[in-house]
Amino acid sequence: MIGKMLGNRYEILEQLGGGGMAIVYKGRDAILNRMVTIKLLRPEYASDEDFVRRFRREAQSVASLSHPNIVSIYDVGRENHSHYLVMEYVDGEDLRSIIKREGPLEPSRAVRIARQVCDALEHAHENNIVHRDVKPHNILITRSGRAKLTDFGIALEASAATVTSSDTIVGSVHYLSPEQARGEVAGPGSDIYSLGVVLYEMLSGSLPFTGDSPISIALKHIQSSPEPLTVRKPDVPPSLEWAVMKALHKEPDKRYSSVREMSFRLEESVNGDDGDTTRIISVERDDMLALKASAQPFPSREKPAKRLSPAGWVTVIALIMLMAGAALYGYYRFVNVPEVTVPSVVGKPLSEAEEILDQKKLKSKVKEQYHNTVSQGIVIAQEYGPNDPPVKINRVITLTVSKGSDLKEVPNLIKLNVIDARIKITEAGFEMEEPPKEEFSSEVEKGFVISQEPAANVRAPKGSRISLRVSKGTEPAARKIPDLRGLTVNQATIKLGEVKLEMDRDLIYQYSAQYLRGQIVSHTPGPGEQVVDGTAVKVNVSNGPGPSARDAKVYVREIPNDGKPHVVKITVTDVRGTNDAYIKTHNPGDQVAETVTYWGRATIKVYVDDKLIKEQVID
């Protein structure tokens, strides 16, 4: 691929790396003369619609974002069967390489990097985009120290389902949130957890969870508490340790409410005074102690047992009876609850679905999602259904309800070139139908858009396709091929130019006994055929020997004897063309006997005072 030009604009210079889905190259934008990063989908995935859709999703996700801590996307295109993205070139290295080379980072430096990633994620979350794959490999650090988040290939809108149809866990398992590991919906809190893992690794130089297989690591994310940072790195400030451990809470609602809050707490943890630090630690002291207790058993000392007094025994027995009664009440109140099979309400209006669930003594919770084919207010999916095990009554069933099509305004693409039109389509949240249709136009320059469907400024479902008709330029006029036989190459070139045609540069020489050396024997297209402007005519040229020269005697006895002088002219038409063989003024009543030379078949004509008096064809 090195040296290949994509879209007649982007030259591939060198390979920078690659992942499971794409190969990343350094390239040059020939038009703007700047370095770019080119992400090329691997050939084996070019025909896989799921991978192509995920690849395009990255362009769509980043196209809606504009932030100094997010790698920008410039263009998206397809070359033959290769899909590619053109992005901002970052002169630096990824965070994973820095940690591998330098080990644990200074707390102030680690926090500075994490807060910049927080800023990037805050912008993405504000635009309803969840990254879902935050890890050091996807964080680039420029030479000036700026962090830039990249690789939105598995990002989705926060309102969309984020579990694959095959229940495959999406994302890198070492940085996976517990809810992602369980195959649940990933929200902004999942990005917070993953960033917490990255911060833990920056501060300690190691990951919080490792294992022999991806499944064992995923289970640890779900079940185990990470070892406190101060155990691995004692010089980490306690306030910073708490800030990291809060991001790593198993329950999303017990993490930070937003990445903005996380950024604020990280800043406090390294810049706050002692009073601030004490206050921060005390706020979540119980959580912190629970985390440490789960990872670090405390030694205990045996103490002499004390004897209970009679009054003490009465108190103990009363407590035991009270606990037993409470347990029995809890069993009948919360455990021995009737179970029901959840009916299917998919495809039903929300009000009807809620009524059906209510009849089964089930509660419902609604979340809305755009859908291009399901009408607004209709249930798209439900958390539990008739194929799942029965649930207890009063169970809350989450219903996903259609918000209808996410309608976007179609941009005006008329008279844009194809590259600019493709970028504008992607930025507006649509896809361009490939390849665009082409037709001749006398009004629109070649390579520019003539018309579009849907039309500009109408509203269409997000992600739908826009088809374009692109100009092929002015349609060439029809021309008639002149007869070039017997002409020299120069003569034929001039004659073709007069009708806006040209001669093919590759001349074919052949033996000919009919035409003299250098004369055109035949040509393609042939005489009288219709072609368009600029057509190149292929010619066959005689290489000799041609016909031999012969003589003919011409007699003229028809000169009038009227007392006036008369002009006699003899012409010869043969392979050389038409030439005057004899012209002379004679007295009245003269007779002429003239020998003329000709090559091949010839036509001899005699004129007296420009009046044809004799014509003869000689083979």
Domain ranges of the chain: 1-89, 94-295, 339-402, 407-471, 478-545, 551-618
* Mean pLDDT for the stretch of residues 37-56: 77
Same fold, 1-89 and 339-402: no
* Mean pLDDT for the stretch of residues 189-206: 96
Residue 403 has pLDDT above 80, yes or no: yes
Q: What is the DSSP-derived secondary structure letter of residue 14?
A: E
Q: Per the residue annotation, which of 133, 151, 191, 406 is the catalytic one?
A: 133
Q: Which fold has domain 1-89?
A: Phosphorylase Kinase; domain 1 (3.30.200)
- Report whether the peptide linkage leading into residue 525 is cis, meaning its omega lies within 30 degrees of zero: yes
> Helix 285-295 and helix 274-283: axis angle, to 10°?
70
Q: Which fold has domain 407-471?
A: Trypsin Inhibitor V; Chain A (3.30.10)
Q: Do 132 and 154 touch, CB atoms closer than 8 A?
A: yes
Q: Which fold has domain 339-402?
A: Trypsin Inhibitor V; Chain A (3.30.10)
Q: Which among 496, 538, 547, 493 is positioned nearest to 517, based on CA atoms?
A: 547
**What is the Cα–Cα distance from 202 to 214, expressed in whole angstroms?**
21
The dihedral built from the CA positions of residue 306, 310, 315 and 321, taken in this order, carries a sign that is: positive
Task: Provide the pLDDT confidence category of residue 285 given band limits of 50, 70 and 90.
Answer: very low
Between 318 and 529, the more confident residue is 529
CA angle 34, 37, 39 (to 5 degrees): 145
Mind giving me the DSSP string for 313-372?
Answer: HHHHHHHHHHHHHHHHHHIIIIIS--EEPPPP-TTSBHHHHHHHHHHTT-EEEEEEE--S
pTM above 0.85, yes or no: no
Share of the chain above pLDDT 70, in %: 84
CATH architecture of the domain 551-618 equals Sandwich (2.60)
Task: Provide the pLDDT confidence category of residue 525 given band limits of 50, 70 and 90.
Answer: very high
Q: What's the confidence (pLDDT) of residue 451?
A: 95
520-524 vs 536-545, strand pairing mode: antiparallel
Q: What's the confidence (pLDDT) of residue 370?
A: 86
Q: Which fold has domain 94-295?
A: Transferase(Phosphotransferase); domain 1 (1.10.510)
Task: Provide the pLDDT confidence category of residue 284 given band limits of 50, 70 and 90.
Answer: very low
**What is the Cα–Cα distance from 258 to 410, expressed in whole angstroms?**
33
Question: Is the domain defined by 478-545 classed in CATH 1.10.357.140?
Answer: no
pLDDT tens digits, one per residue of 314-369 = 555 655 665 555 555 544 544 456 889 999 999 999 999 999 999 999 999 999 88
Annotated catalytic residue 133? yes
Structure-block tokens of residue 72:
């920008």
